[in-house]
Structures are given as structure tokens and as C-alpha cells.
């Protein structure tokens, strides 16, 4: 299993460019199942999760080709299997997003239940409840959701009991081919929802209200093909900015979608960093001072994303003073705490979702283990800021969500290498 070896203590300095967004690309790949013509996608990041979704589309029978500029064209007119198997859904929960599109287009599908994962139980009850309201017959049997709708899905007024990104996406996709109008209330407002709506619209869907709490979808007979360029990855950008802050660096990120990072940039300001936005470039200057610890509370968009909670915790570890981290989205997303403590961090868990971090003068390199995607990036940040050498094992987690991480960090002056063991 590969490991990362990091000799810490060097500030990140220079310019990097954001990759395409993983969490936008995954639902958009699922949405290709709705289109009666090929869909050509540009700027998909080169990541393991993207490969897993493409593998699933191929397993279902889709024709996927990659051109010389890495544009990916998906033709789903050749779909012949209406079953998403356990092995692929288990590997990546976002595979569950094929449920809505396949049901809407083919009237029948079996998708493995995703099960719990490292950050929480993560049920899918909201996805299922909404599809039932749209006329789907659902049974759960042998670990699979078996769904059918002989007469097609029908539009409905759906009120989500809680804000769910995947639930909103699944229902939004299903509604594009349902009969009549679907209204989704208490919808997620994340930029990845807005992206999916834009792509679906490019395919001919009629959607309004994305980015607000109420989304309205008028069903269509069929959707066509389109060309679509996926936006930048706001979580990747946030991770690099936090890494620069933790190492006392000076970083510019190009094509960074600053409009999606309002709360994050404001919070970096609370830590004392100078943040300048110029068009689509974000510049962060943290040279010559120790950041001041800050309280961080995760929330659904437009709040601080849970996907940056671990990274902000790592920043608090090397800041001056005490910062409280409160996780409100997932019930078990503190697996990185014990690993950051191995680097010398001072963290006290007040309860399962609140951690109090007291900044220390320096972290020290150690052997640590990645437990999930964002936990692993917090360890990279800790290791970059630490004195001495850190080895991070189980880095397959990081390869799910960070494109060319060693190359990008090395370009910015980090001493990092991948050990193939």
C-alpha cells in the first residue's frame, strides 16, 4: 500500500490551479443516464472516485470514450443492465445517485444499499421517501433497493425532512423525466446542486430555483446530449488555502470559484490571514505571523462545509489560542483527532461532535494513518506544518479526492514523496 512521506516545516509558496470538482462530476456522470444522446464532459478530475463512477456506467452498458484532451463522452443508449452492484456502491456511496435517473428513464432498477461509512451511518431514507412520493414502488431485499414504476414517475410536492445534497440530486434528476411538476422544498443549496441543474438544463431539462430552498422541475419526455465543463473543486481550493495558512505561506489559486467559498475565506480572515480575491484567483498571505485560533462550525451551504472541518482543525492545531470545532452534518467525523494528536496536537473532545483545540508551538512528524478522504488531507496539512518527517499510510483515501496532490504540493515547495510499498 502506498504511503506519503513528508518532511515538514516549509511554507507553501507559489501558484496552483484548481482541478475539476469531484462532487460536481459524480452526479453529472450519473445524470448522463437520462440523456438520449451522448454527453461530453470536460474538466473531470483524474481521481479514483471518478473512475469508479465511470466503471459503474460501463457495467450498466454505457459507451464511454476519452478524447486526446481528456474530454469524456458518455453514451447511455446502450444501457442493458439495470442493477448497480454492491461491490461498486460499497466502494463509493455516490454510486447511489444512479437510482433516480435509471428509474426515471427505464422504469425499473436495483441499486445496492450503500451501508454506513467511516464518517457516519449516512442513511438514504430521504432519497427513497421522495421517489415513493413520485410513484415509485420500492422494496428492500437482499441488501438492494428494488425500484419500479410501471407507468413512469409523476411529479410531486416533496419536502425533505433534512438538507441532503445527494437526496436533492437524486430527486432532481428523477424529476426531469417525470410527468408533470416536481417541487423540492428544503432542498440543498450547495454549488454542486446548481452545477447539476445547469448541466441538466444544457441537456434540455426545465429546472428553476436551484441554489435556493425550493427547486421546481417540469418533467420532459426526453433529454438530449450536451457539452459541459465542470466547475472547479471548492473543497480542493479550500484545502490548499488552509495548508498555506498552516505553513505560514503565500499562495495563489487560479480558477478557484471564489463565489463558492465566501464563508471559508471569511473564516481564514478570522485566523488572521490576508485573503485577496481578484476575478477567479484567490491569494492568501500568511507570512510572518502565527494564525489566531478560531471557532469553526460546519453547516450546509452557504456555511462552512463539513468537507473542510478536518483541515480547519489541523490549522487550529498550529494557531495561537483555543478554537472549538463543531461538526453538525455528520455524527462521526472526528477520526482524524487521534492521528493529529500523534503529531503532537492538543485536542480535547467535549462530546462526539465538538472538539476543543489548543494551539501548540510546533507539531512533530510521526507515523499516522488516513481514515477517510478529508481526514487524510488534514494529516497532510499537519505534516506540512510539522517539524520533522511524517509518514501517512492508507493514502488511497486521498487519491479519491485530490488530483496529483504530491505534484501540486511539490510545485509549491513542499518536500513530499509517494512511497510505493
Cβ 200 vs Cβ 223: under 8 Å: yes
Work out whether 311 is an interface residue with ligand EPZ (CB under 6 A): no
- Based on the residue annotation, tell me whether 40 is a catalytic residue of this protein: no
Q: Which of 19, 32, 95, 164 binds ligand EPZ (CB under 6 A)?
A: 164
Work out whether 211 is an interface residue with ligand EPZ (CB under 6 A): no
Residue from 157, 127, 122 nearest 140 by CA: 127
Residue from 283, 299, 340 nearest 316 by CA: 340
Of the CA atoms within 13 Å of residue 197, those in its CB half-sphere come to: 24
Q: Indicate which residue of 117, 149, 226, 404 is catalytic.
A: 117
Whose CB is nearest to ligand EPZ?
166
Please report, for residues 19, 142, 257, 264, the alpha-carbon distance to residue 279 in angstroms, rounded to integers and kept in the order given.
Answer: 17, 51, 9, 17
Work out whether 23 is an interface residue with ligand EPZ (CB under 6 A): yes
Rg (CA), the chain: 21
Work out whether 213 is an interface residue with ligand EPZ (CB under 6 A): no
By C-beta, is 75 or 307 nearer to ligand EPZ?
A: 307
Residue from 346, 408, 341, 322 nearest 379 by CA: 341
Buried-state track 222-236, b at ≥16 Cβ within 10 A, e below 16: ebebbebebbbbbbb
Work out whether 41 is an interface residue with ligand EPZ (CB under 6 A): no
Work out whether 166 is an interface residue with ligand EPZ (CB under 6 A): yes
E-assigned strand segments in 44-143: 63-66, 72-75, 83-84, 108-112, 137-141
Compute the least distance from the CB of residue 398 to ligand EPZ, in Å.
11
Q: Which region, judged by CB under 6 A, interacts with ligand EPZ, from 219-227, 283-291, 302-310, 350-358?
A: 302-310
Please report, for residues 98, 251, 417, the alpha-carbon distance to residue 405 in angstroms, rounded to integers and kept in the order given.
Answer: 29, 15, 10
Work out whether 162 is an interface residue with ligand EPZ (CB under 6 A): yes
Work out whether 258 is an interface residue with ligand EPZ (CB under 6 A): no
> What are residue 275's DSSP bridge partners?
284
E-assigned strand segments in 46-117: 63-66, 72-75, 83-84, 108-112
Nearest-angstrom CA–CA distance, 316 and 268: 11
Q: Which region, judged by CB under 6 A, interacts with ligand EPZ, from 10-18, 36-44, 69-77, 123-131?
A: 123-131
Work out whether 123 is an interface residue with ligand EPZ (CB under 6 A): yes
95 by Cβ neighbours in 10 Å (0-12 / 13-18 / 19+) ranks as buried
Work out whether 184 is an interface residue with ligand EPZ (CB under 6 A): no
Work out whether 234 is an interface residue with ligand EPZ (CB under 6 A): no
Q: Which of 3, 401, 406, 408 binds ligand EPZ (CB under 6 A)?
A: 401
**Pairing relationship of beta strands 226-229 and 39-42 according to DSSP bridges:** parallel
> Residue 308 carries which DSSP code?
G
In the three-class reduction of DSSP (H, G, I as helix; E, B as strand; rest coil), residue 93 is classed as helix
Instruction: Give the contact letters, 368-397, x = binds to ligand EPZ (CB under 6 A), - = no.
Output: -----xx-----------------------
Work out whether 101 is an interface residue with ligand EPZ (CB under 6 A): no
Q: Which of 19, 52, 112, 126 binds ligand EPZ (CB under 6 A)?
A: 126
Work out whether 165 is an interface residue with ligand EPZ (CB under 6 A): yes
Compute the least distance from the CB of residue 91 to ligand EPZ, in Å.
13
Compute the least distance from the CB of residue 216 to ligand EPZ, in Å.
20
Work out whether 335 is an interface residue with ligand EPZ (CB under 6 A): no
Q: Which of 32, 182, 198, 306 binds ligand EPZ (CB under 6 A)?
A: 306
Instruction: Give the contact letters, 80-99, x = binds to ligand EPZ (CB under 6 A), - = no.
Output: -------------xx-----
Work out whether 127 is an interface residue with ligand EPZ (CB under 6 A): yes
Work out whether 29 is an interface residue with ligand EPZ (CB under 6 A): no
Which backbone phi and psi does 151 adopt, to 5 degrees? -100, 15
Work out whether 350 is an interface residue with ligand EPZ (CB under 6 A): no
Q: Which region, judged by CB under 6 A, interacts with ligand EPZ, from 71-79, 163-171, 257-265, 402-410?
A: 163-171
By C-beta, is 166 or 238 nearer to ligand EPZ?
A: 166
Nearest-angstrom CA–CA distance, 377 and 356: 20
Nearest-angstrom CA–CA distance, 160 and 168: 8
Compute the least distance from the CB of residue 261 to ligand EPZ, in Å.
14
Active site residues per annotation: 117
Residues that bind ligand EPZ (CB under 6 A): 23, 26, 93-94, 120, 122-127, 162, 164-167, 192, 305-307, 329-330, 373-374, 401
Amino acid at each position: 500500500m502506498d504511503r506519503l512521506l513528508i518532511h515538514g516545516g516549509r511554507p507553501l509558496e507559489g501558484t496552483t490551479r484548481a482541478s475539476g470538482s469531484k462532487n460536481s462530476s459524480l452526479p453529472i456522470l450519473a445524470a448522463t443516464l437520462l440523456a438520449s444522446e451522448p454527453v461530453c464532459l470536460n474538466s473531470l478530475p483524474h481521481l479514483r472516485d471518478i473512475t469508479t463512477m465511470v466503471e459503474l456506467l460501463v457495467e450498466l452498458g454505457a459507451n464511454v470514450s476519452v478524447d486526446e484532451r481528456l474530454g469524456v463522452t458518455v453514451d447511455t443508449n446502450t444501457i442493458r443492465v439495470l442493477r448497480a452492484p454492491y461491490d461498486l456502491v460499497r466502494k463509493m456511496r455516490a454510486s447511489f445517485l444512479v437510482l433516480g435517473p435509471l428509474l426515471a428513464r427505464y422504469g425499473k432498477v436495483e441499486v445496492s444499499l450503500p451501508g454506513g461509512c467511516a464518517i457516519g451511518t449516512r442513511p438514504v431514507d430521504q432519497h427513497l421517501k421522495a421517489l415513493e412520493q413520485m410513484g415509485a414502488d420500492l422494496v428492500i431485499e437482499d441488501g438492494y433497493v428494488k425500484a419500479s414504476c410501471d407507468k413512469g414517475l409523476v411529479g410531486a410536492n416533496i419536502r425533505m425532512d433534512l438538507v441532503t445534497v445527494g437526496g436533492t440530486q437524486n430527486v432532481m434528476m428523477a424529476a426531469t423525466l417525470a410527468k408533470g411538476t416536481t417541487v423540492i422544498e428544503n432542498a440543498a443549496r450547495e454549488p454542486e446542486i446548481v452545477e447539476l441543474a445547469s448541466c441538466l438544463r444544457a441537456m434540455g431539462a426545465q429546472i428553476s430555483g436551484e441554489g435556493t430552498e425550493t427547486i421546481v422541475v417540469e418533467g420532459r419526455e426526453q433529454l438530449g446530449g450536451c457539452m459541459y465543463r465542470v466547475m472547479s473543486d471548492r473543497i480542493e481550493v479550500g484545502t490548499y488555502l488552509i495548508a498555506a495558512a498552516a505553513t505560514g505561506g503565500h499562495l495563489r489559486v487560479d480558477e478557484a470559484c471564489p463565489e463558492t467559498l465566501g464563508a471559508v475565506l471569511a473564516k481564514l480572515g478570522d485566523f488572521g490571514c490576508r485573503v485577496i480575491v481578484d476575478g477567479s484567483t484567490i491569494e492568501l498571505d500568511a507570512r510572518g505571523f502565527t494564525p489566531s485560533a478560531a471557532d469553526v462550525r460546519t453547516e450546509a451551504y452557504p456555511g462552512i462545509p463539513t468537507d473542510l472541518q478536518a483541515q480547519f482543525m489541523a490549522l487550529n492545531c498550529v494557531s495561537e489560542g483555543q478554537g472549538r470545532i463543531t461538526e453538525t452534518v455528520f455524527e462521526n467525523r472526528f477520526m482524524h483527532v487521534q492521528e493529529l494528536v500523534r503529531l503532537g496536537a492538543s485536542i480535547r473532545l467535549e462530546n462526539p461532535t465538538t472538539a476543543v483545540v489548543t494551539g501548540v508551538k510546533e507539531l512533530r512528524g510521526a507515523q499516522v494513518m488516513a481514515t477517510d478522504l478529508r481526514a487524510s488531507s488534514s494529516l497532510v496539512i499537519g505534516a506540512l506544518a510539522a517539524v520533522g518527517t511524517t509518514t501517512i499510510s492508507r493514502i488511497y483515501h486521498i487519491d479519491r479526492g485530490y488530483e496529483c496532490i504530491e505534484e501540486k504540493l511539490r510545485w509549491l515547495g513542499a518536500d513530499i514523496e509517494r512511497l510505493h510499498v
